[in-house]
Copies of this chain bind each other. A is one copy, B any other.
Amino acid sequence: MTQDTGPDDGGDPERGGEVRPVTGDAPQVLSGAEAPAVRHLVSIDDVSIEEMHALFRLADRFASDPRAFADTCPGFISASLFYEPSTRTRLSFESAMLRLGGGVLTAAEMTSSSVVKGESLADTIRVVGGGYADAIVLRHPSEGAARLAARYSPVPVINAGDGSLEHPTQTLCDLYNLHVERGKIEGLDVVLAGDLKYSRTVHSFAYALARFGANIVCVPQAGLELPDYVVERLHEEFQVEPMRADARRLGNLASNSDAVYLTPQKPHQLSLFTDARGWEVQSVDAVYMTRPQTERHSGSELTDTTYLRLEKRAMAAESLRDAVVMHPLPRRDEISDEVDADPRSIYFKQAARGVPIRMAILSWLLGRVPLESAGEPHGQQASYGVPMGPNPCPNPSCISRTETRHAEPRFTILEREPLRVACAYCTRELSHAVIGCSRSRIFHAPEAGTIRLILPEHLVFFEDEEAALGAGFRPAASLAGH
């Protein structure tokens, strides 16, 4: 059910537009090389709303007495395969597994290992998942790495961050915190503040909030607004309406920001859209601060000193009276020390709750605790191998580009007419000037209606006509005239 290329969010907006999945497509399983019938957690979209609620209930149970569940996974082993360091995330997972009574294998610096002997990710996953461990927690710098790993793994793969693509357990942790602090997520007003452009956790969080029916108030650092493609996906996929917001009641927090209000389309809200000032932010349930993703900024975009900073006086705003302050951590200076003692500051609790929610995820995927409710995952899609030719994915950070072995190019279909496809790993939309059929060896212009008749598994992508001709393809009649 989860061995497919779910509609992943975000990524680096500098590197080109991201894509939204075609909803309504019949879910179709991407059958991996060994086609195991296991659930993975590659994208937050792999989990249905109902499952998330069940995970929250399970996490509540674990949180009530973290040391009382050491008999949940006896003899089970999780392996932390970290191709880039992330101690906090690793320790959180390992703590969860130990609390469940399981064992932990740690490979904290995979790059110094057999990678140098030239082993592919797929082979490593097959070996570790083949008998060493019962679950794999994977951190990898390439986008789509977890999706690739899931294709080959006989045991559950949990994505602990793959490049700038997904970090679903962080998102689940954030949602779980809202659930605990507010008792629900639907209808909450959540401020997203700071770097809304580059932070992958914020994009994933925004999609998830929209799925749950929460409202989002964007208070971006100037120049680091939520990218258009994220807003578009929110609109098209979750029927979220962006509105100009009157953020005066947010006080200091929003003083330098053009706030935007993102809300599920509801009649009573649309009526307010006529107000010239925009929707008035009344009372906020949560403020989600993010650190500047300086490693992705060009130097000119931001200097540390000018970044948004949540201070005591900002917290005095009337609209924030009941708001909890969240932060995915690590923080730098974007939250002042003096806010730490404020009872509304829950960021350390938020991090601590990463353990029970990961206990819930692990015990669920390991089949040790059945979820009470299944529901429908979001946007499951079929994927298809590219039968010939070069890898059409244009994303240099995609795992299909960084891996030289056992990472066959695959794609998902976004729209059939005109044909739009995306890389099945990194979800980047593919660009192609010419489309061929591997059976007929005929190629077409992308807008040609006949393309609809080609079976997906026969689609071939060429950069230009010359490449198609060079591969021995003939132009379609419609092109022959050129």
Interface residues of A (CB under 8 A from B): 33, 66-70, 74-77, 79, 85-88, 91-92, 94-95, 98-99, 101, 103-110, 112-114, 117-119, 123-124, 126-128, 130-134, 291, 329-333, 337, 340-341, 348-349, 351-356, 405-406
Contact = CB atoms under 8 A, between A and B. Distances in A.
Contact of A123 (B106, B117, B331, B352): B331
B355 A132 contact: yes
B85 A76 contact: no
A103 B349 CA distance: 22
Given A33-B340, A87-B110, A127-B88, A70 B74 contact: yes
Contacts of A348: 126-127, 130
22 contacts: A33-B340, A33-B341, A66-B131, A67-B76, A68-B75, A85-B112, A87-B107, A87-B110, A87-B114, A91-B133, A95-B105, A98-B105, A99-B103, A106-B106, A114-B330, A119-B330, A119-B332, A126-B348, A130-B348, A130-B352, A131-B351, A332-B405
Given A67-B75, A127-B88, A329-B119, A103 B113 contact: no
Nearest to A88: B114
Contact of A131 (B114, B124, B354): B354
- 5 smallest CB-CB distances across A and B, nearest first, come from A131-B352, A98-B103, A67-B75, A119-B330, A87-B113
Q: How many copies make up the complex? A: 3
Given A98-B103, A119-B329, A355-B131, A88 B75 contact: no
Nearest to A332: B118
B117 A330 contact: yes
A261 to B, nearest CB: 31
A280 B75 CA distance: 49
Contact of A99 (B75, B332, B351): B75
Given A118-B332, A126-B348, A406-B337, A95 B131 contact: yes
Contacts of A87: 107, 110, 113-114
A132 B95 contact: yes
A356 B98 CA distance: 22
A329 B131 contact: no
A307 to B, nearest CB: 12
Contacts of A134: 67
A101 B67 CA distance: 13
A90 to B, nearest CB: 8
A132 to B, nearest CB: 4
Contacts of A332: 117-119, 405
Nearest to A74: B70
Contacts of A77: 95, 98-99
B79 A74 contact: no
Contacts of A105: 91, 94-95, 98
A127 B90 CA distance: 13
Given A114-B330, A130-B348, 17 more contacts: A33-B341, A67-B76, A77-B95, A87-B107, A87-B113, A87-B114, A91-B132, A94-B105, A98-B104, A98-B105, A99-B103, A106-B106, A119-B329, A123-B330, A127-B352, A130-B349, A131-B353
Q: Which has the most chain B C-beta neighbours within 10 Å: A332, A354, A406? A: A332
Nearest to A126: B348
Contacts of A340: 33
A127 B33 contact: no
A123 B329 contact: yes
Q: Which has the most chain B C-beta neighbours within 10 Å: A88, A114, A291? A: A88
A408 B132 CA distance: 38
A114 B341 CA distance: 23
B79 A91 contact: yes
Q: Which has the most chain B C-beta neighbours within 10 Å: A68, A114, A134? A: A114
